[in-house]
């Protein structure tokens, strides 16, 4: 599958602080990819570099095969972008903002705009100054999708939305991918939402990529296994098993933090006189906390 976004050995410094430490990841065309990390992890810096709003110090960044710093104007014409802090002219109405945006891109999809506005129950004739924070957030999403972009890059699109509108936004973003063939790359702290719609995740912490790939693959390989044995054994022996990341003693049992082939790990455990075991499947929230916690 072709790549919509390629980031290779990307580095960014703010004076002496290294915000991005030679990060590499790939976003496939037609996919929905969640970009997740704590505050200050490097998400917004990465997105600004993708949009050509911030210069990198080294590395390469491509959008649809075009190098960002070499062809920024052409690249932006194919992207629908929603920054975390989206500024809107308060004296304009929703329609005026959309027509203003049309002046830059040459066309807007009226049918799609009305579809989103109806789903969000948003009156586009109202002035921005009369809209709540959540309504302005919804309008920002509509502006991003209004030009039928092939790639959507969204920074915290569901921030400030109530649960009903968050659900509506997720459904619409899924349709952008499944029906219109768009690529969706978005940053979010709401991991429950990310898990509902993404194919892949890029996990970043302290300027390093911790994981980049298919979410189902991550879930399949990253598990906790609670085990008991027929005789006493040393924790060190369990730590030596391939795929066992961490071992915790809990009364008469051991909790194994694993990343690998679960059946193979269980077969190895049988060699130590395995008495019982329970495999615990982790959701994205658990996976994120476990992975970030493991490297800090």
Residue by residue, DSSP assigns 50-117 as: HTTSS--SEEEEEETTEEGGGSHHHHHTTEEEE-SS----TTSBHHHHHHHHHHHHS---HHHHHHHH
Quote the pLDDT of residue 71: 67
The CA distance from 283 to 213, in Å, is: 15
Instruction: Give 149's contacts (C-beta < 8 A, 6+ positions apart).
Output: 78, 79, 80, 182
Q: Is 60 exposed, middle or buried (0-12, 13-18, 19+ CB in 10 A)?
A: middle
Quote the pLDDT of residue 294: 61
- For the segment 263-283, the average pLDDT, to the nearest whole number, is 94
Domain 3-206 has CATH 3.40.50.300: yes
Whether residue 296 has pLDDT greater than 70: no
Q: Which residues of 222-259 are buried (b: 16+ CB within 10 A; e: fewer)?
A: bbbbebebeeeeeeeebeebebbebbeeeeebbebbbb
The pLDDT > 70 percentage for the chain reads 98
pLDDT band at 36 (very low <50, low <70, confident <90, very high): very high
State pLDDT tens for residues 197-221: 999 999 999 999 999 999 999 999 8
Quote the pLDDT of residue 93: 96
Query: Which segment of 35-39, 82-86, 174-178 scores lowest on mean pLDDT?
Result: 82-86
Rg (CA), the chain: 22
CB count within 10 Å of CB 39 equals 7
State pLDDT tens for residues 111-124: 999 999 999 999 99
Quote the pLDDT of residue 293: 67
Fold of 220-295: Alpha-Beta Plaits (3.30.70)
**Any idea where the domains of the chain sit in the sequence?**
3-206, 220-295
- For the segment 161-183, the average pLDDT, to the nearest whole number, is 90
- Of the candidates 214, 200, 169, 191, the one whose C-alpha atom is nearest the C-alpha of residue 33 is 200
The CA distance from 225 to 206, in Å, is: 28
Whether residue 295 has pLDDT greater than 60: no
- For the segment 254-275, the average pLDDT, to the nearest whole number, is 93
Question: Is 3-206's fold the same as 220-295's?
Answer: no
State pLDDT tens for residues 51-89: 988 999 999 999 998 888 876 777 877 899 998 877 788
Quote the pLDDT of residue 143: 94
């Amino acid at each position: 599958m072709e790549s919509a976004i390629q980031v290779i050995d990307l580095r960014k410094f703010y004076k002496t602080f290294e915000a991005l430490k030679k990060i590499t990841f790939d976003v496939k065309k037609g996919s929905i990819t969640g970009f997740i990390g704590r505050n200050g992890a490097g998400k917004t810096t990465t997105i600004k570099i993708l949009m050509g709003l911030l210069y990198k110090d080294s590395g390469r960044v491509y959008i649809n095969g075009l190098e960002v710093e070499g062809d920024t104007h052409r690249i932006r014409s194919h992207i629908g972008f929603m920054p975390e802090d989206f500024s809107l002219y308060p004296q304009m109405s929703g329609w005026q903002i959309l027509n203003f945006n049309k002046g830059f891109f040459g066309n807007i999809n009226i049918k799609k705009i009305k579809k989103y506005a109806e789903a969000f129950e948003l009156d586009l004739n109202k002035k921005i100054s009369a809209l709540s924070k959540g309504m302005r957030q919804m309008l920002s999403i509509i502006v991003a999708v209004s030009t039928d972009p092939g790639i959507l890059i969204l920074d915290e699109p569901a921030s400030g939305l109530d649960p009903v509108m968050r659900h509506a936004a997720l459904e619409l973003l899924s349709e952008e991918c499944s029906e219109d063939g768009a690529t969706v790359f978005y940053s979010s702290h709401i991991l429950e939402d990310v898990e509902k719609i993404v194919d892949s995740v890029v996990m970043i912490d302290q300027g390093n990529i911790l994981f980049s790939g298919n979410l189902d693959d991550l879930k399949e390989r990253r598990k906790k296994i609670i085990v008991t044995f027929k005789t006493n054994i040393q924790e060190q022996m369990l730590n030596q098993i391939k795929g066992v990341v961490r071992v915790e003693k809990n009364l008469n049992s051991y909790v194994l933090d694993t990343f690998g082939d679960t059946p193979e790990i269980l077969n190895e455990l049988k060699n130590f006189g395995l008495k019982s075991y329970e495999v615990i499947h982790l959701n994205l929230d658990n996976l994120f906390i476990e992975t970030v916690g493991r490297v800090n």
